[in-house]
Structure 1
């Protein structure tokens, strides 16, 4: 039997697809490319925006067209929030939502016998336990995601995720360590901790917090790096920051979502901090961990974002000197308060504002990267450099790429057999999307943290 997967959306979805792939592999299925003819198709959907839902439906129909006799399984956030709508698509056999993926083969075997569609979506708000699924294998050879938390109860006015993921559920510490050790045994050097609301880890457990997870992971033998995927700035504390400061295993990189750069829009978003609070936290982080990379998210064109508010936001963003930013143009999501707000912004204005913010961020990225010219950074070699135009680079061998612990992408000469190795790279030339470097074999040279 052959199974094919397609994943839309975030790293959590990608992790969950990996867990389902493992379930099918253990049952003897062959995993093939989604464009090929399979016996079972699994589409892991997204519902963050209406566009995400549209793309999810397109991929469902593509699978049905590829093999009308295949069992079509739809899971993920769109399946959870609109199971009836998904089942109305002719050809869908199984809808399973964001919980109970461990039962996916049971449902498929039942469909094979009866060939009757199954709606297996449960009430997500009745879920109290983290669905503990293993995913030791990933597409990347050097970095693995480890999901440790599920659910969110913040109810930002633009976000449907609480309705798709439910309340806070945390993975038990023993399970996290077991999974981490399994990942390391497979040869991965870096683990990225992920969750829907990572900073809320442990709220549903007795006497366990995120800091306990970090301290325990630090002791895992063979694990070179630990990276926190995303955490709210207001959920940082000195204990966590001091651990990052003192340990060589923790990446000097924090992704701290901002979402809006003025208090007026933050209030409309139901975000629970001010720009002044955010700025104060970032200054404190940088004071404790100099040269740390602070990256963020920003939603452009939120309802009520006037030209004046946008201008104020640009000034704030420029002053914050972010190392990078994910820019999202606001998209209405049916079922959220923001979709009904007055002052909706024209798409043409969203496009123009997005380009302006991108220009600011390119400058701040370059400024951040220029700080490291001449310094030596620890880099895990990931793959051969894939840039289309390498003629401008003076090179006497093959170029490879990898990320430093501060998430700078560096390009340098290396060999195929070096992929996966942790090396020390001296930054030679700074760029916006990547910087050029050279592997340093002189162990007497200092790393940037010692400069």
Structure 2
């Protein structure tokens, strides 16, 4: 049987796409081997969000060529879409495949085997009108499954290259999303994460069907799973969506709502589609309807033109919103974006100092939010045994002897908790299942909890589905 090896860089959407590409190879009789092994085909799914992503992508491509110079080396993903000619000139690269051609990679590979002639399969992504369907019925991770519901973005923020790499919004047909979600739930996954490049924009390319409609249809699937929305813009949260979220029994009480900056002049320069007042109003209304809601966010520090006063505004705004977790990024200039040409770049030493202050605030907010759940019972999906190799575990628990039966997982609010499994209960029957715990203490990265009861149990057919699908 021919062999194929994969390496994925970048975001969760890329990892989802790689899983889908693997399924197409699997259906055509290929066996997957580790990327470090000798394979007949190497597929590198690249990232181009920053120049670092480009550089790492090139390093991985060269590693594949060195491992087996006779293999067919396929490069796809965002870097491949943005710079196909540059990649095609690299020694040993046989195929460069665009982001709207991933479902056809095996066809391209087999054409390559037949003709032995390198070529490009990269078109104008801005003209792509249809969602590129990839069937992903299972994942290696047992606790949650990603479900890609759309691709592309229409926003064109001045710091972001992604619309040029992914094209405009293309939503997956609702019936295909429902079918995929049903497959994943029947395979035993207790959490399904709706993901995409611009997840909250789902349905913008449909006439009368948006994310709220999709959530209502997913709610009707009579199987035990919860739904997490990977990310949504504040401008996309309208009254109808809030009504759906408030009534839902499946959507978890956690939303990732990117902020990027808490200063209106910076937001305007970023070409974001809201003001700080509009953003704060949305969070206020969401929390009125969903009092325990966890809100996580992204913040870019040191955007061109960000003065000390503007940064202090952002710091104060972030503190006022009471986020449960921050993802902090120093601004990184990216060729091909509007902000790359802005003249008033912030010096790197100032960026570093601001990043450190924002991260410290994020830790303070994280602890404050988590502290409100101490003593409460929460439902966690057990991911895996907790070991001393886990950095957060070392900080929270110190040395973890091998005999300690600790499991770790996330609850609906995206709180990561560790708890000891009761004696006599096999860990393998708990991993991937819903466990009710009582939170006892706030920790650095992982919180402590005690076992209360197991809520869901693996079914034989679900376990079989995970192993063979």
Matches for 1:188-267 after TM superposition, within 5 Å: 188-267=189-268
Determine whether 1:121 maps to 2:109: no
**8 Å CA contact 2:296, 2:323 repeated in 1:** yes
Deviations 1:175-214 (A, max 9, x none): 0111111112222111100111122211222321111110
Flag the 1:15–1:288 CA change in 2: closer, same or farther, 3 A.
same
Flag the 1:21–1:349 CA change in 2: closer, same or farther, 3 A.
same
**8 Å CA contact 1:177, 1:217 repeated in 2:** yes
Deviations 1:47-82 (A, max 9, x none): 111111111111111111111111110001111111
Determine whether 1:428 maps to 2:435: no
Flag the 1:175–1:265 CA change in 2: closer, same or farther, 3 A.
same
Distance 1:256 1:223 in 2: 26
Distance 1:342 1:108 in 2: 44
**8 Å CA contact 2:381, 2:432 repeated in 1:** yes
User: How far 1:310 moved relative to its partner?
Assistant: 1.3
**8 Å CA contact 2:65, 2:92 repeated in 1:** yes
Deviations 1:117-142 (A, max 9, x none): 11000111221111111111212101
Distance 1:148 1:119 in 2: 27
Distance 1:168 1:138 in 2: 25
Deviations 1:351-389 (A, max 9, x none): 221111000000000000000000011111111113443
Distance 1:442 1:255 in 2: 28
User: Which of 407, 417, 439 is equivalent to 1:400?
Assistant: 407
**8 Å CA contact 1:78, 1:97 repeated in 2:** no
Matches for 1:25-424 after TM superposition, within 5 Å: 25-388=26-389, 389=394, 390-391=397-398, 397-414=404-421, 415-424=427-436
Length-normalised TM-score, structure 2:
0.91
Secondary structure of the 1:184 match is helix
Deviations 1:238-260 (A, max 9, x none): 33223222323111000000011
Flag the 1:276–1:30 CA change in 2: closer, same or farther, 3 A.
same
Flag the 1:396–1:59 CA change in 2: closer, same or farther, 3 A.
closer
Deviations 1:384-424 (A, max 9, x none): 11344344679984100010000000100122321111111
Secondary structure of the 1:108 match is helix
Distance 1:251 1:220 in 2: 16
Q: 2:460 corresponds to which residue?
A: none
Distance 1:281 1:340 in 2: 32
Deviations 1:269-307 (A, max 9, x none): 111111111111111111110111000001111111122
Distance 1:394 1:66 in 2: 38
Q: 2:458 corresponds to which residue?
A: none
Q: 2:20 corresponds to which residue?
A: 19
Secondary structure of the 1:382 match is strand
Flag the 1:119–1:237 CA change in 2: closer, same or farther, 3 A.
same
Distance 2:454 2:88 in 1: 62
User: How far 1:338 moved relative to its partner?
Assistant: 0.4
Secondary structure of the 1:401 match is strand
User: How far 1:104 moved relative to its partner?
Assistant: 1.0
- Gaps of at least 5 residues in structure 1 are 444-451
Secondary structure of the 1:332 match is coil
Secondary structure of the 2:168 match is coil
Secondary structure of the 1:433 match is coil
- Gaps of at least 5 residues in structure 2 are 422-426, 456-469
Length-normalised TM-score, structure 1:
0.95
Distance 2:411 2:242 in 1: 19
**8 Å CA contact 2:95, 2:118 repeated in 1:** yes
Please give the root-mean-square deviation of Cα atoms over the aligned residues, in Å: 1.7
